[in-house]
Amino acid sequence: MVKVMANKNTYDEKSIKILEGLEAVRKRPGMYIGSTDKRGMHHLVWEIVDNAIDEIINGYGDYIKIILQKDGSITVADNGRGVPIGMHESGKSTPEVIYTVLHAGGKFENSGYKVSGGLHGVGGSVVNALSTKMEVTIYREGKISQIKFKNGGEVASPLKTIGESKKTGTIVNFLPDKEIFKNCNFSFTTISERMQESAFLLSNVTIEIIDEEDNLNAKYHYEKGINSFVEYINENKNPLHNVINFKNTKNDIEVEIAMQYTDSYNEQIISFVNNVKTADGGTHEVGFKTGLTKAFNDYAKNNNVLKGSLDGSDVREGLSAIISVRIPENLLQFEGQTKGKLGTPEARNAVESITYENLKFFLEENKEVALSILDKAAKSKLAREAARKAREQVRKGTGKNNKERILSEKFAKATGKNYALNELFLVEGDSAGGSAKSNRNRETQAILPLRGKVLNCEKASAKDIEANAELRQIEYAIGAGLGPDFDYHESNFGKVIIMTDADVDGSHIQILLITFFYRFMRPLIEQGMLYVATPPLYSVETSKGKIYIADDEELEEKRKEAKAPLKIQRFKGLGEMDADELYETTMNPLNRRLLRVTLNDAAIAEKRIHVLMGDEVAPRKEWINENVDFTLEDDFRK
């Protein structure tokens, strides 16, 4: 991995620039960290870790340690240069400025950092603002210095020297404010998965995570960098060749790409900018896709391999790729505070050029690999065109099975024409489907009953979907296409809601359907349009009438509140509810509880779906043993 070196003599008190205060953070934390749920609380960790990583990618330090403390706080330690400890021109100590003033940092002038992921400079101060306590210990200039904060940024103890040391680095400990992050705890798994990605991207770094409460430990170090990342993603797949890696610099933008094709039908492209994941892509991903498609089409044309040209989706079928770019501060543009999408125009040209030139050379030098990939892409093109033709015939009503006939038997339409308000319920079983149909809002709610378990789409092709009656009905009901042709703007529904029994079979159907949507209608998930209904587990007779209980935890609370024994009924399936109960508890927007299916991390989602739905039994057993608690208890009559 190439190190980007900064001038070691210019990161000091004068590097820190104050842009504005921090008053708004506690009032509107979502503006700065995205949300105040578990995801937002973990964003605090990423902000502090990003500062440590910025030190490493600029050539300082090679070790990060994260400790989940027993008191609920978290500690992030690095062996970088250490935060400057001199007096700032504002009259405050520099650490106080960094951790109490919004947009104060060494990343607004090119002198401190050449490359940085934490561009906005809100990291330390926002974390402090949303914590009940923060303690910063600094190893620098032969001294150990420390400053403490309380109540969201108040100085509890000013910067002082507490010892001497030849080490360098920064240790930050903070406790998130429970009034802001209610019922949230740090997750060892979530942090480990994120840190493993960082270790893949920094081949010279070691990252250790320790959970003191549960006595867990993980350590990551990868000599082969992002090549190891691709191998990790594809470890349960069948690769067509060894990992291809190339890197170069163009217009001061460093580009490194690792890629490998497998016999899968799915593509997996994960991109990073200055070690920050760009979940929503951006100009660098556009450049990579353009360069990739051009390289393969030019090779096919120059070697008379194919007639016509390949679409980008054909070329990317079965591809796993990691894109890592390093962009100087003066060129770096993110879209939004959470840095999910790159906007730098120069990145597109740099990545496209480097991808095209390196891939073109590789294909010419590796004919056998080139032909195997092109053969796969050609088959993808044929299958895509055949599936599209079949769908067009259905839409026009000229096919053997037109859309109306396919859907007429079971599908209950919504009469409303405002598609954004319409909802499609995918209901387990004809019995529950019948109840749902009889007592729904006919204007906005459509019902499609499903019989049994649908096809496992982990290794399915578009042709397989067209041959499967259940999934074909879902496809035609939604009406927005399939795979590369799917356009969520064309969806007949603003919400697609999976409604199954609250048992093992129901959960399995949920996973199968989510796998289908992930593989063939992924934008539906990315746009927050896919939901899972959560029918109540219990009904309870009280003196005030019947109430419905969502889960065992809520039932236990009701038991504690009750002065007399409760009369409890457990619903073992949707079919046990009458039409009124089903509507009021699970379909009525005023009462129902829906879980939105989200895609926070595509790489982790890809890995988990493949483990759970793939052919390999051993990895699935291992995952279940590590992540699922089994119990024989089913006593709700107390």
Q: Is 485 a catalytic residue?
A: no
User: Which stretches within 366-461 are classed as H helix?
Assistant: 367-396, 403-408, 430-438
- Angle formed at CA 486 by CA 480 and CA 490, multiple of 5 degrees: 35
Class of the CATH-defined domain 13-220: alpha beta
For residue 540, what pLDDT is reported?
Answer: 84
The stretch 601-619 carries a mean pLDDT of 57
Which residue reads 């959960």 in tokens? Answer: 507
- Angle formed at CA 514 by CA 571 and CA 506, multiple of 5 degrees: 20
At residue 135, φ and ψ (nearest 5 deg) are -130, 125
The stretch 216-237 carries a mean pLDDT of 93
What's the pLDDT band for 168 if we cut at 50, 70, 90? very high
Give exposure, 328-337, as e/b (b: 16+ Cβ within 10 Å).
bbeebbbeee
Q: How far apart are CA 278 and CA 325, in angstroms?
A: 11
For residue 348, what pLDDT is reported?
Answer: 96
The stretch 299-313 carries a mean pLDDT of 91
For residue 99, what pLDDT is reported?
Answer: 92
The stretch 32-41 carries a mean pLDDT of 85
Q: Which of 12-21, 366-375, 548-557, 587-596 has the lowest mean pLDDT?
A: 12-21
Q: Is 464 a catalytic residue?
A: no
Residue 143's H or E segment, with its range, is strand 143-150
306: three-class secondary structure by DSSP: coil
For residue 265, what pLDDT is reported?
Answer: 84
**Contact (Cβ atoms closer than 8 angstroms) between residue 558 and residue 537:** no
- Catalytic one of 428, 470, 581, 606: 428
pLDDT, tens digit (0-9, with 9 covering 90-100), for 62-80: 999 999 999 999 999 999 9
Alpha-carbon torsion (68, 173, 204, 279), positive or negative: positive
The stretch 558-564 carries a mean pLDDT of 76
What's the pLDDT band for 603 if we cut at 50, 70, 90? low
Q: Is 443 a catalytic residue?
A: no
Class of the CATH-defined domain 226-383: alpha beta
The stretch 169-176 carries a mean pLDDT of 96
The stretch 583-609 carries a mean pLDDT of 76
What's the pLDDT band for 4 if we cut at 50, 70, 90? very low
Average pLDDT, whole number, for the chain?
84
**Contact (Cβ atoms closer than 8 angstroms) between residue 201 and residue 324:** yes
Fold of 401-535+580-627: Rossmann fold (3.40.50)
For residue 612, what pLDDT is reported?
Answer: 59
Q: How far apart are CA 198 and CA 360, in angstroms?
A: 29
What's the pLDDT band for 6 if we cut at 50, 70, 90? very low
The listed range with the strongest mean pLDDT (179-188, 230-239, 418-427, 509-518) is: 418-427
At a CB cut-off of 8 Å and minimum separation 6, what does 399 contact? 390, 393
pLDDT, tens digit (0-9, with 9 covering 90-100), for 9-22: 566 776 665 545 56
At residue 508, φ and ψ (nearest 5 deg) are -65, -40
For residue 617, what pLDDT is reported?
Answer: 53
The stretch 155-182 carries a mean pLDDT of 94
Q: Which of 239-243, 461-465, 474-478, 613-617 has the lowest mean pLDDT?
A: 613-617
Closest CA to 21 of 95, 102, 89: 102
Per-residue pLDDT at 165 exceeds 80:
yes
For residue 375, what pLDDT is reported?
Answer: 93
- Catalytic one of 314, 501, 581, 606: 501
Q: How far apart are CA 599 and CA 524, in angstroms?
A: 10
pLDDT cut 90: percent of the chain above it: 46
Q: Is 375 a catalytic residue?
A: no
Per-residue pLDDT at 432 exceeds 90:
no
Per-residue pLDDT at 114 exceeds 80:
no
Q: Which tops the pLDDT comparison, 360 or 593? A: 360
Per-residue pLDDT at 560 exceeds 90:
no
What's the pLDDT band for 223 if we cut at 50, 70, 90? very high
For residue 113, what pLDDT is reported?
Answer: 56
For residue 105, what pLDDT is reported?
Answer: 57
Q: How far apart are CA 566 and CA 557, in angstroms?
A: 12
The stretch 607-619 carries a mean pLDDT of 57
End-to-end CA distance of the chain: 62
Per-residue pLDDT at 391 exceeds 80:
no
Full-model pTM: 0.73
**Contact (Cβ atoms closer than 8 angstroms) between residue 315 and residue 298:** no
Q: Which of 52-61, 229-238, 314-323, 497-506 has the lowest mean pLDDT?
A: 497-506
Per-residue pLDDT at 119 exceeds 50:
no
Number of other CB atoms surrounding residue 557 within 10 Å: 11
pLDDT, tens digit (0-9, with 9 covering 90-100), for 565-581: 788 888 877 877 888 88
Number of other CB atoms surrounding residue 358 within 10 Å: 19
For residue 569, what pLDDT is reported?
Answer: 81
205: its two tokens = 């770094």
Which residue reads 């679409």 in tokens? Answer: 311
For residue 615, what pLDDT is reported?
Answer: 57
pLDDT, tens digit (0-9, with 9 covering 90-100), for 357-381: 999 999 999 999 999 999 999 988 8
- Catalytic one of 335, 503, 526, 601: 503
Q: How far apart are CA 508 and CA 500, in angstroms?
A: 9
Per-residue pLDDT at 535 exceeds 90:
no
Per-residue pLDDT at 38 exceeds 70:
yes
For residue 272, what pLDDT is reported?
Answer: 92
For residue 242, what pLDDT is reported?
Answer: 96
For residue 515, what pLDDT is reported?
Answer: 85
Per-residue pLDDT at 553 exceeds 80:
no
Count the residues in the chain: 638
Q: How far apart are CA 631 and CA 638, in angstroms?
A: 17
- Catalytic one of 505, 526, 554, 576: 505
The residues facing 140 across adjacent strands are 143
pLDDT, tens digit (0-9, with 9 covering 90-100), for 480-531: 888 888 889 999 999 999 998 877 778 788 888 988 998 889 899 889 899 9
